[in-house]
Amino acid sequence: MFAIDPDIRRAHTLPGAFYTEPGYFQQAREQIFARSWQIIPGSAETVRLPFDALPFRYLPGYMEEPLLLLRDQDNQLQCLSNVCTHRGKILVEQPCKLPHGIQCSYHGRRFKCNGQFQSMPETEGMENFPSTSDHLTPLQVQEWRSFAFTSLAPEIPFQEWIAPMEDRIGFLPVEQFLFAPERSRDYLVKANWALYVDNYLEGFHIPFVHKSLHESLDWSAYRTELFAWSNVQVGISKGGEHVFDLPQQHPDFGQAVAAYYFWLFPNLMFNFYPWGLSLNIILPLAPGLTKVQFRSFIWDASKLDTGAGADVDRVEREDEAVVEQVQMGLGSRFYTHGRYSPKQERGVHHFHCLVDKMMSRPISEAAY
């Protein structure tokens, strides 16, 4: 669709229109977001024991699909459509316990925790009932450490998507990190979601935009590593302080790693610092408007506010200001597309190649 050359030395960036035109924004819903893995926020805190249930929407403000995450009697996670198969009422409206399965509050239809239709009052005389369309549609749900993920029409192998991150930061006890609501917040950015991702995927701008971060990172050692559906930027500490205590068998053992910035296609960022994890969820709202959810999970509170992970809020403000300027620039009649620095913008090029691939790939019927 965009013919992004796989050779970065020859490639041009995505066209400005991708970031500004409603048609592309609309197409990305099914082509990119329905087929990718999305995190289910709050699952670790609210869905811990059998029969705990959490209603949520797939991507609030963009793809409002009502879904329900719950644990069944065997403590297995289930993700179901949260829409009653009778006349369409939302089944579960609040986080709750469902020891007797799911009952619709409109006309009393009942479902098991796996979504199977169970009973319904006043069905005498109904023919061909119940049938398969009376069950709640189950979705795939996958777990990694304390996080749960789902997809409306999965086309990316989950293991291929998650494994590079697990390989690299597997030594951290991520499931013991504690969610810190007081260090979590949402930002509204007047820019396209993909522009926010572009900016995240290069450290090229650090010396220009983030003066304070630049002082703590060794910019010459900053590097990006690419995987099939994700990439990581490795931040090396300038003074060798505030770094991970890496185990001996770790591929980066001996290096002063201050941060691992993982991006998972298309819109999730896991930033690991010696103090814990800053998770960024990028939610498209309009072609030129994006919500960025920052969620902090603390491992070692004594290391907070040090090193590369010190002033996350300030760095975020600096990024927002610059991407909002770029959004304005991309709407210009004189801008078509740009070029990549082969040394500095491999992550951006990787992202654009994946966007191009997913936007061009026909939706397979089989996935539904």
Our finding on whether 319 is near Fe ion (CB under 5 A) is yes
Our finding on whether 250 is near ligand FES (CB under 6 A) is no
Whether the CA torsion 146, 167, 349, 352 is positive or negative: it is negative
**Distance (Å, rounded) from C-alpha 230 to C-alpha 167?**
13
Choose the contact partner of 109 out of Fe ion, ligand FES, none; CB within 5 to 8 A by kind.
ligand FES
* Residue closer to Fe ion (CB basis): 100 or 211: 211
Out of 67, 84, 165, 282, the only residue in the binding site for ligand FES (CB under 6 A) is 84
Our finding on whether 135 is near ligand FES (CB under 6 A) is no
Out of 12, 89, 183, 214, the only residue in the binding site for ligand FES (CB under 6 A) is 89
- DSSP 8-state code for residue 31: I
Question: What amino acid is encoded at 244 in this protein?
Answer: F
Out of 75, 97, 106, 208, the only residue in the binding site for ligand FES (CB under 6 A) is 106
Choose the contact partner of 319 out of ligand FES, Fe ion, none; CB within 5 to 8 A by kind.
Fe ion
- Please report, for residues 153, 246, 342, the alpha-carbon distance to residue 29 in angstroms, rounded to integers and kept in the order given: 11, 39, 30
Whether the CA torsion 216, 199, 323, 179 is positive or negative: it is negative
Task: Please give the angle made by the CA atoms of 219, 222 and 223, to the nearest 5 degrees.
Answer: 155
* Residue closer to Fe ion (CB basis): 19 or 25: 19
Please state the closest distance from residue 338 (CB atom) to ligand FES, in A.
51
Residue with tokens 């796989």: 6
First to last CA, the chain: 23
DSSP letters along 157-175, please? -HHHHHHHHHHHHTTS-GG
* Residue closer to Fe ion (CB basis): 54 or 201: 201
By CB under 5 A, which span of 29-37, 171-179, 278-286, 317-325 interacts with Fe ion?
317-325
Residues in contact with Fe ion by CB under 5 A are 319
Residues in contact with ligand FES by CB under 6 A are 84, 86-87, 89, 104, 106-109
